[in-house]
Structures are given as structure tokens and as C-alpha cells.
Copies of this chain bind each other. A is one copy, B any other.
Amino acid sequence: MFASLTHTQIRKPLLHEEIVARLRTLIFHGELLPDVRVPEKDLCQRFGISRTPLREALKVLASEGLITLLPNRGARVTRLTPADAEELFPIMGALEALSGELACLRASDSDIAEIRALHYQMALHHARVEHHQYSQLNQAIHRKIMETARNPSLTSVYDGLEGRVRRVRYLANSSRQRWNEAMFEHEAILRALEDRDGEQLAVLLKSHLMSKLGAVKRALGSISYSSECL
């Protein structure tokens, strides 16, 4: 009895899990900046907890690469160097390519219809030069393809990497020309998916990521390094 009702059990959220989540959002929102030392005591006071669960949370984030732990010298948000970006984007490209292949194998007609809808909504925001909404839909499309691949391990590996480059994503479409290119690439991506041409979709997604890497690198070059990003 209670078969279907109570199987989704209610769990009191564990403190260190809470802390992992809250630290992640702090990092993503730029409230914790790269390379600045954050004493454990400060974070403890901020969250109103003791050091034990905080330290457990830091270990988890460190093993994700989001923060760096220097022995006896505290934790700091990992600074993403151009070299890191150059390593990470090809990996993400390979994983997105795989997601595309699997998605072509497994997508239902309604999956594709959903992605098509997202695509045309995105195209609209592109035409209206609405960066933020465009960006949201762009991410939604890639997430939906990833989800359609129905490989949770793939998703979680990808998300781990995505978190590390999150703060430079917005640099990708900073030039108008690159933005137009990206939109063009997305047209081809949609077509490959509609044709369920997995091989083609894989190639497109991979090169899409590599173009993005190029754009990010150019943008990084022009902000001359010292400033607050990365």
C-alpha cells in the first residue's frame, strides 16, 4: 500500500547539501570572486552554521573544480584561464555531439516539435536583438537536446563542466557578427534534428561549440585580462 503516493519520500535537507547549492549560486552570481580568499569563518557566519558541514561542502565543490583548495591556505573560487577554456570547450563539444547523436535516435515527434518551437522563439528574439531572452532560449534548446538523449550520466558530466565555464558563456555572442553566425548554425542544427541525422547533428554541435570557443577567446583577448571576469 501507499505504493505510488509515498514513494517520493520527504527528506529533511542536509546542511552540507544546502551549503553546496548556496555556494554554487553565490559563485554563479559573482558574489564570490575568483582568487579571493574566503575564510571558512566568514562563510560560516554568512550561513549561520559550523565549520564541519561547510568544509564538507567545500570538498565537494573542489572535486567539481569550481573552487580550489590550497592546503592550510583556504578555499578560493577557481579562476578560469584561457588555457582552461581551450581544454574544456572541446570536451563539452564532444559531449554535446554525443547528446545530438543519441537525441536523434530517441527523440519523439513531440520532442522535436518542442525544440522547433524553442528555435523559432529564439529566432524572434535574435531578430529583435534581445540578447537576454535569446540566450535563455539558446540554453533551453541545448538542454532539451541533452535531455532527449536520455543519458543522465552524460547530463551530469556535462553540467559539471558547464558550471566551470558558466561565467564566460555570456562572452560568446558579444560581437554582432558572431551572433549572426550562431543563429545560422542553429538553423542547421534544427534541420539535422528534424532529419534525425545524428552524425550530421553531432558534427554541427561540435563545431558550434568550437566557434563559441573562438568567440570567447577573442572577447577575452579584448578585455585585456585584468578586469573582473573569468
Binding site for B on A (CB under 8 A): 11-12, 14, 16, 52, 55-56, 59-60, 62-64, 71, 84, 87-88, 90-91, 93-95, 97-98, 102, 151-154, 157, 161
Contacts and interface: CB of A to CB of B under 8 A. Distances in A.
Contacts of A161: 153, 157
Contacts of A56: 55-56, 59
B97 A59 contact: no
Contacts of A11: 71
Given A11-B71, A157-B161, A161-B157, A16 B59 contact: yes
Count identical subunits in the complex.
2
Contact of A94 (B60, B98, B152): B98
21 contacts: A16-B59, A55-B56, A56-B56, A56-B59, A60-B63, A63-B64, A84-B153, A87-B151, A87-B152, A87-B153, A88-B153, A90-B98, A90-B102, A90-B151, A91-B95, A91-B153, A91-B154, A93-B98, A94-B95, A157-B157, A157-B161
A80 to B, nearest CB: 11
A88 to B, nearest CB: 6
Nearest to A99: B94
Contacts of A71: 11-12, 14
A57 to B, nearest CB: 8
A69 to B, nearest CB: 9
A98 B92 CA distance: 10
Nearest to A158: B91
Contacts of A60: 59-60, 62-63
A177 to B, nearest CB: 27
